[in-house]
Amino acid sequence: MSRTPNIAIDGPAGSGKSTVAREVACRLGFLYVDTGAMYRAVTYLALRSSVDFSDEAALAALARKIKFSLVRYLKSGHVLLWCNGEDVTPYLRSQEVSQQVARVAAVPEVRHHLVKYQRLFAKGGGVVMEGRDIGTVVLPDAAYKFFLTASLEVRLARRERELMAQGRHVQRDELRKEFIFRDDMDRKREVGPLKVAPEAVVIDCSDLSVEEVVNRIVNRVETSSGGG
């Protein structure tokens, strides 16, 4: 019995995967799930309750109490992440959250709890899920797996533009330090590290527009009869 496939999109921060994944989901009529937002939500709630970020047990306990849900807004069609019945979306991109999130994402028990929800969200198929470990850990059976990369300078410029669009300004050197720190934590952590799944199609987005990347992914999905 065939069901709608799932699409896994992984890659480092600033590789453009959020914009691409959202657009791919829109074009295919799939549900878009941003797993980074879930790690950010745990971080935001930990900051709000003044949890000590070096206390892994406390971070794990806090994460375990969170009930995640995806809420679709009828007017805009956007799907937003809610935690314990609260829309936390406006708080997820703050500098404090961005600075601490890699530490939270390195806690195995936090990952375990979030991965359970991520698999639940993808259970019925028809999901475009983006993150770092989707093709390797969360959805190893996803029919389509993509890994997006881009040079560090391109990634920094992209994030700088996003922040400026929000009326925020961050020094390029500060941002570079944050990216290098997060990349390092993401690649080296023991559970769910950032890694290319063996079957993933790697797309270097350094010199491609969002539309070009989206077209490549959508074409591949539409022209293929589907895999595992």
| Residue 203 in tokens | 């797309």
List contacts with ligand DC (CB under 6 A): 13, 35-36, 39-40, 101-102, 105, 131-133, 182, 186, 192
**Euclidean distance between CA atoms 73 and 27, whole angstroms:** 18
Q: Return the closest-CA partner of residue 137 out of 191, 101, 190.
A: 191
**Shortest Cβ distance from residue 99 to ligand DC (Å)?**
10
**Shortest Cβ distance from residue 52 to ligand DC (Å)?**
19
Q: Which residues contact 72 (CB under 8 A, 6 or more apart)?
A: 78, 79
Instruction: Rank residues 20 and 75 by Cβ distance to ligand DC and give the closer one.
Output: 20
Instruction: Rank residues 97 and 224 by Cβ distance to ligand DC and give the closer one.
Output: 97
How far, in Å, are 13, 96, 105, 133, 185 from residue 181 at the CA level? 11, 14, 13, 18, 6
CB contact at 8 A, 72 and 55: no
**Shortest Cβ distance from residue 156 to ligand DC (Å)?**
13
**Shortest Cβ distance from residue 102 to ligand DC (Å)?**
4
**Euclidean distance between CA atoms 225 and 228, whole angstroms:** 10
Q: Return the closest-CA partner of residue 23 out of 215, 158, 222, 226.
A: 215
**Shortest Cβ distance from residue 129 to ligand DC (Å)?**
8
Instruction: Rank residues 58 and 185 by Cβ distance to ligand DC and give the closer one.
Output: 185
Instruction: Rank residues 202 and 226 by Cβ distance to ligand DC and give the closer one.
Output: 202
Instruction: Rank residues 92 and 225 by Cβ distance to ligand DC and give the closer one.
Output: 92
**Euclidean distance between CA atoms 36 and 59, whole angstroms:** 16
**Shortest Cβ distance from residue 74 to ligand DC (Å)?**
25
**Shortest Cβ distance from residue 206 to ligand DC (Å)?**
18
Instruction: Rank residues 115 and 214 by Cβ distance to ligand DC and give the closer one.
Output: 115
Instruction: Rank residues 41 and 221 by Cβ distance to ligand DC and give the closer one.
Output: 41
CB contact at 8 A, 104 and 96: no
Phi, psi of 120, rounded to the nearest 5 degrees = -65, -45
Q: What DSSP state is assigned to residue 45? A: H
